[in-house]
Amino acid sequence: MAAESTTLIDVGVLFAAAALAGLVANEINQSVIPFYILVGMVLGEYVLGRIDFPALLGTDLVPHGSELALLDTDFVHLGAELGIVLLLFFLGLEFNLDRLIAAKERIGKAGTVDLLINFGIGLLFGYAIFRSFLPAVLTAGIVYISSSAIITKSLIDLGWIANDEADPMLGTLVYEDLFIAVYLAIASALVLGGDDVGEAAGQIGTAVAFILVLLLLVYLGTAWFQRSLETDSHEFVVLRALGITVLVSGAALALGVSEAVAAFFVGMAFSSTDHVHDLENLLEPLRDTFAAVFFFWIGLITDPTLFPGVAGLVALAALLTAPSKLVSGYLGGRIYDLDERRSVRVGLGMTTRGEFSLIIASVAIAGSGAGIAEGTAETIYAFAVGYVLFMSILGTTLMQYAGRIEDVVVPVLERRSGPAPRSTDD
């Protein structure tokens, strides 16, 4: 990892660029995530750093782009890790254990349909491309997991959060996130374990044991988590919550377990306390700030010259996995007894991929040369970034134009299955 220092002006450029990207995204009503990645890419060493301004402008008064480009410094990398931790902490915060248990049957059915269809297609696609099991598993994870962050934000922005279609969408996201928590732990152990089977098995055992301890903590530790934030000071609430979350996440990372998984379970533990509302209000700006750094960092370390080499893979994956999510989402809606219109809306809403796919890509690149060949890891990484860029734009666009799509698709479905009463809370 890079060890260059970060100056204050670099940090200022980073936040100013991210703020500008957010402004542009809001103006054209798109998700901000692709814009954070793009602006990071533009300001990084692979784009700005390669521009020879003196030769281009015919004067040495302008520095070479390499002197202006932002680098992947330790500061930026740590900020990105905090972004991952806070994103997963908030996802865990949404999943109260009691609510989860009450809807477990429908969540289980809809989530299993989603898993079998999308992970299955991803596994076949990955194996067909790489002819190897581990790269296929990583590819399957990348194309399977929907973006909890983008979908949840879109549900709120579009006013769907109180509608019937929100239940199967959030339920399926819960299933996906629980699956991916175990998946990330095992995939990280396999990828980082190299060729030593015993070492990899040991890391998997450590990961599973750590997750079991965290689950025990969620189940039995509510009283302790409740008392840990008993204070009238907002400052102390933030410091204590961050202290617990980052400390547990850091311990997980030191043991070779994903810090994202640990943060997810800490969030679940806090979800059963009376502090959820305070945590959401006080930590949300912090989460969004460091999440922006995370997506910016993804762009910063991405070489866009790799994209032409994976453009075909991205196009093929999109052709296979966008329809598969539409089908699995529609079936999930039907499992929740929704009508055709709302079931179609569930499918449209689940298409977006985002942060988890990028986390899996970062696992692949971290294991480059160890458990996975360097060239394969770079291909998976470039594919994941291109795929997330495309699917995040496609998914948010499908949700925005859901009404027009439903007007075309729903009559066809209703002619096949018979008319259903139309809901009135659109």
What pLDDT sits at residue 197?
A: 61
What pLDDT sits at residue 2?
A: 46
Once rounded to an integer, what is the mean pLDDT over residues 62-74? Answer: 87
| pLDDT mean across residues, the chain | 85
If pLDDT is split at 50, 70 and 90, which confidence band does 318 have? very high
Query: Is there a contact between 203 and 366 (Cβ–Cβ < 8 Å)?
Result: no
Cα torsion through 33, 39, 45, 51, rounded to 10: 150
- Asked if residue 419 has pLDDT above 80, the reply is no
Long-range Cβ contact pairs of 158-163 (< 8 A, separation 24 or more): 158/399, 158/400, 158/402, 160/345, 160/349, 162/425, 163/342, 163/423, 163/425, 163/426
Long-range Cβ contact pairs of 334-340 (< 8 A, separation 24 or more): 335/106, 335/109, 335/110, 335/113, 335/168, 336/106, 336/110, 336/164, 336/167, 336/168, 336/171, 338/164, 338/165, 338/168, 339/420, 339/421, 339/422, 339/423, 340/410, 340/413, 340/414, 340/417, 340/420
- Asked if residue 311 has pLDDT above 70, the reply is yes
- Asked if residue 426 has pLDDT above 60, the reply is no
Task: Tell me the per-residue pLDDT of 359-417, one tens digit each, with 9 for 90 and over.
Answer: 888 888 887 777 788 889 989 988 998 898 889 888 888 988 898 999 998 888 888 77
148/282: higher pLDDT: 282
* Residue of 395, 313, 262 whose CA lies nearest to 139: 313
- Residues ≥6 apart with Cβ < 8 Å to 234: 278, 282
What pLDDT sits at residue 229?
A: 92
Based on the number of CB atoms within 10 Å of its own CB, is 12 exposed (0-12), middle (13-18) or buried (19 or more)? exposed
Angle, alpha carbons 177-340-329 (nearest 5°): 20
What pLDDT sits at residue 163?
A: 85
Query: Is there a contact between 345 and 402 (Cβ–Cβ < 8 Å)?
Result: yes
What pLDDT sits at residue 424?
A: 47
Task: Tell me the per-residue pLDDT of 189-210, one tens digit each, with 9 for 90 and over.
Answer: 788 765 556 666 776 777 778 8
What pLDDT sits at residue 93?
A: 83
What pLDDT sits at residue 288?
A: 87
Q: Which of 39-48, 82-91, 152-161, 388-397 has the highest mean pLDDT?
A: 39-48
Cα 151 from Cα 345, distance rounded (Å): 12
Once rounded to an integer, what is the mean pLDDT over residues 331-346? Answer: 93
Model pTM score: 0.78
- Asked if residue 178 has pLDDT above 80, the reply is no
If pLDDT is split at 50, 70 and 90, which confidence band does 320 have? very high
